[in-house]
Structure 1
């Protein structure tokens, strides 16, 4: 879907927001300070920024001003505990597209991001395609990768529900595996091997996110062929 960067200094909230966004199909890069944002922000990749205002090393409004001065077509959403009318006006005046208070429901944040993506015409990435019978995965603009039966079964399970979180038990049922105490560790190990294989064979990063204690999400548009 859309690559975004999240700037939030409070660790628990940052993790909660990132996991929520990833469950909605976003690829989220996290930063805890303005300095870390500057290090991790990739203008060729990140198309939306979610920015807190009160930060340990400065004011997020100054960062927004700098971003707007570059002329990048970046979507910017302020997500801040500072929620007075004066704060909101200041944020919008320096170039934020939207200004949300931290007391809002995360579904409101998701709706705001969806509306922003449509307005800015942030088109989704090219589709990944899985050939089930031939056990081949086609990454965008890359040669196909031949898969093992087990890897093909895992990807089939994830790609047919692209954009949603698929739990460990459901993936194990797709594999025909019996429930075991170490099922999560075994799936994590398999997914790590599969990521390495895809990157080694076709140079692409497999768009699968692990959400701790919940499962996995294939976060790019996907197509499945028999």
Structure 2
């Protein structure tokens, strides 16, 4: 999965962006200021960046300028509250590949990053996850395993059976054998959070599960189910 460095100083927005980008399959390094960027940025590993411009210790535009002057081919999306045309023009002039204003639909950010990934030939390699539904075991691409509860196994069966496609919340609830009209959907949110944490703790890898805002989920990489 592509490695991405995210520079955002506002804590709530930083966590929202981190979660959103991780759901899309990026390995995200989150930093909050220019000093943190300087410490964390690894040119040989990070090939994409989402950069705020108004920062507590300087201007993100100067960072973009410095990176381009050093010959960096980093794919850069400026993500900022500065929305005036003259500011956008300056951002592009200094080397931003895309310039988005905060408040835009985050799907626009995802599309900009996907376009950059294609141009830079960074498309993630398919990684197969194997679910043994009888033994209730999930085997990750690194060969580590996570043992699953019965309900978690049912959820993953439904999602992995439609790998690459969107699965609605109602479809998941019904796969659990529950009545959609009486089911408290907060239970599903809690279960998905617990499942993600269990898989991360057991395998060291993030579950490749994209959240579809209030609509459902997508298991976005290749999968194999043995039942």
Is structure 2 residue 7 aligned with structure 1 residue 7?
yes
Q: 1:96-137 CA distances to partner (integer Å, 9 max, x unpaired)? A: 112223354333323222222211111113312224456554
Is structure 2 residue 91 aligned with structure 1 residue 91?
yes
Structure-2 residue corresponding to 1:202: none
Task: Write out aligned runs for 1:53-132 (5 A).
Answer: 53-132=53-132
Structure-1 residue corresponding to 2:157: 156
Task: Write out aligned runs for 1:172-211 (5 A).
Answer: 174-176=175-177, 183=187, 185=190, 188-199=193-204, 205-208=205-208
Q: Give the conservation status (yes or no) of the 8 Å contact 2:168–2:216.
A: yes
Task: Give the whole-Å Cα distance in 2 for the aligned partners of 1:76 and 1:28.
Answer: 14
Task: Give the whole-Å Cα distance in 1 for the aligned partners of 2:220 and 2:80.
Answer: 29
Task: Give the whole-Å Cα distance in 1 for the aligned partners of 2:164 and 2:225.
Answer: 14
Q: Give the conservation status (yes or no) of the 8 Å contact 1:2–1:27.
A: yes
Structure-1 residue corresponding to 2:41: 41
| 1:215, distance to aligned residue in structure 2 (A) | 9.9
Q: Give the conservation status (yes or no) of the 8 Å contact 2:196–2:207.
A: no
> In structure 2, do the counterparts of structure 1 residues 185 and 94 end up closer, same or farther at CA, with 3 Å as the change threshold?
same
Task: Give the whole-Å Cα distance in 1 for the aligned partners of 2:27 and 2:215.
Answer: 16
Q: Give the conservation status (yes or no) of the 8 Å contact 2:133–2:153.
A: no
Secondary structure class of the residue paired with 1:116: helix
Task: Give the whole-Å Cα distance in 2 for the aligned partners of 1:38 and 1:221.
Answer: 32
Q: Give the conservation status (yes or no) of the 8 Å contact 1:50–1:78.
A: yes
Task: Give the whole-Å Cα distance in 1 for the aligned partners of 2:138 and 2:24.
Answer: 23
| Structure 1 unaligned regions, length at least 5 | 200-204
Q: Under a length normalisation based on structure 1, what TM-score does the superposition of the two structures give?
A: 0.70
Secondary structure class of the residue paired with 1:76: strand
Q: Give the conservation status (yes or no) of the 8 Å contact 1:23–1:164.
A: no
Q: Give the conservation status (yes or no) of the 8 Å contact 2:7–2:51.
A: yes
| Structure 2 unaligned regions, length at least 5 | none
| 1:50, distance to aligned residue in structure 2 (A) | 0.9
Task: Give the whole-Å Cα distance in 2 for the aligned partners of 1:31 and 1:195.
Answer: 21
Task: Give the whole-Å Cα distance in 1 for the aligned partners of 2:197 and 2:89.
Answer: 46
The more displaced of 216-225 and 26-35 is 216-225
Q: 1:161-186 CA distances to partner (integer Å, 9 max, x unpaired)? A: 5586875x865654557967984556
Task: Give the whole-Å Cα distance in 2 for the aligned partners of 1:39 and 1:154.
Answer: 40
